[in-house]
Structure 1
């Protein structure tokens, strides 16, 4: 005897699946996955999750029962020119600008199964599999060793031209350009043991060890040499890196910095103000620290946001900070916005200040900002080097998308507008966009040739 079961996604898309009473819930999930064209996580009924190994009869399912298929969220990573997405079934879909690197993983596609994490360098990708091994692809051969033999990995970090993998025993393995941190000379020694987390600048790495100390490597001038502050790097909780410097928050809320002094590696001018720091946001050339009392302290390149003296009186009750390459935007508790940094690329929002009320979220491109308001409308400001708005994409309250700016790099989404519904997340390269929909399918547009809809 068989029954007909109605299986739906959270988006509302549904399919009817036939199953025998002796067949398992897992079998129903697999059939629904094929019918609906998505990956799967687990099936639930009105009472909650169902045991995937239980029979249809034991699970109490009857003819006409309604079930919901929960889909594992799609995760998207972007290199400078390409995208790579972990789909619901833990496989990978990669695409990008032809010849620009990373967009074609066909050479390793049969190995990209049960993928847990993807990290991108400028022109390559590295995928961490469920068995702790790594698969790489792209055009920078120093970052793409198809015979890479690393096991027991639990996390991957990357900078512009190198990778670092943390093993389950806390040791680290690196690959890529030697001068950017891809050298294994340090990582095979005793210094990098019991590693808990790794952060990167453009050309260097900083690892927080289990005891709260820090080890750095890579380009010395880009933050790879922390010897001048090594005795201060204790009880470190978080590290943030910008293009050429690092800032570490210690457990007492104080901050230690190193790297290029002119972009934030030297915070001595504001050191006395850096107390009870909760969060640090990094632009390319400066840092902004949010303190426990809602005020903000900045340092680094003055014209790139390191000097916030002109808006210091306004930087109160700040809830969140967003950075572009050369400027910052802070959302205050009343939903208003304060900006500073390079006026030509987002640091001056005076032309739209009256519109910046009840702001819920701010997103930044390289040279500009877009603010999502509480009523679902969007306010933008900032220009690129040519004086024109670059491309933006905003998710509205109903899950639709509005795009504007340079049509060639994603500002015109008219070709895919009818597909842009129930959008949950948007990721971008400098020239293209990908939207993850509620049913975990993908829609892409901009300057590249790639899948218009998927998976």
Structure 2
């Protein structure tokens, strides 16, 4: 008899650890035994992380989607760009269960095969792949010396497996004793957990591990600071201890720092971190040191936990959720806060559930997959997270200027009206399509910071709105504004620029004025004092263009020289300085900026890149090879975008989020490449992971990541209710979704 650990796979198909004959799939009925439903599998068929999802099909094929891949997480140049919709993992057959780390930065995955072997891929810094090394890998590896596995789980940087003989084996990071071998020594090969027998299932949190024994008891070890071991203390345990007061348990689950148990009576119990309502009850403490019953849940048969939210599946095929509500994680169509479990509306016939960091999944009896939550990295699988080719900004024409922030855009039309879309700087609902900014007319230029916006009017005044905690709106206060207000004491402006939380204005007399945050001296007044009204940047005249990004400010003078001030945490020695010339750059006609570097266009059409470094450690600018007829440049986080004299756009850099404007197999396609099908471009705007091109006909197109709807295509990357994932076949009963195809 097999026991459940997070997925009611018996309702999907029969998966058995030993030589037991396969059973026919069973449809859930009122007369079906809930206990037998819970006890007949140790498999997880859905798994998710911060930007990546996996699903096991009935035939044993493995499907993936999102921003990661079945290749080494640390070898970016070798890493394949995964589709924003599901694609089959080549060469992976007869998978029966998957698990994924709850840590994005240390990401790794495990796949249990029908023959009891385990394959692993992803980060390997602590040996969590179990191949005897900490070396980067360019593909899946088989965990060494491990056979007969029936249950696997991936922690933050460690891995756990239960074998058919009831023993438990662990490998990877062991700083908190999460390997359970009585030490804190990291292991690159599996070691046996001491003192545990009769185990039928395992699970792993970030830095702790748990095991379920065949007698229905739960055992835990590793970090206990937040109560995740359930023993009533905050102690770290180097060897397993029994979780007191829990009997009759048939399933266990953990992904973050909260632990869960499902009992044979259908009740759910939780303990550990509760800062976001993960325990499912309104307790005053954000840490729960012993198991408490999650109220309002009966007849549950399966659990799936993300780091901060939980899904519970009832025997009737309905799904219940609780915990973190941001991004639509709970699937009820709202972002309402609350601790009590709530049913996901209009979702029926579910047979398995899965949870990532920012999304949730449900597999239905008909083989269809539903998902909801944040799709910023493609983890939901609907394709709304990115556009790999230029896509029109909907409902906007006659555009004359556009400025890109990290997660929003501000555009000016020929009639002087201002339009914006993407993230709301004040934390409200995002806008996936342009909306008009009320109260502004006569606009000619715009700028977008991280969470504030600027507009220059034809009369030379500057208007601002958004967050104002550092005085970046220039109105003499630190109060946020939802509507535009004038920057005080500023006139005759001809250009504006916005950094993370500071602002710049260029006046007609060639002087530059600044206000807002000043942590890196980015206001150019040789201080670090915040300014809520404009101050003149010292020692600059004859300026014709200004730029800002992060805490860096840059000015281009009429003589073609480039001047910079401010900095970045990686290049800050604590000493504010007056503007200094960027040596090695001359005859510059245009500049594009990122917080740590700048791209310069020279009069001869060549493109050069300079990186911000600590004083005395600067290196000369380097030419971006392959361009001699450039007329414009832009800088996204991972690419340099170049506008050529013929109106085409070319680029170099990473394509993980589609910033190159075409599909690619490699994360970093070599050399410069043209954005296919894009002509007639007049100017470029880029920031974060997205790029926009303004065409000569006044239309605007965008490509790259669609975080907060920043591309303006009218498609939201947030799914507040379950949405069907476009699979090329049914995961159950498809009849033609075969691993050998």
Bigger helix fraction: 1
Relative contact order (C-alpha < 8 Å, sep 6+): which is higher?
Answer: 2
Larger radius of gyration: 2
**TM-score in terms of structure 1 length:** 0.48
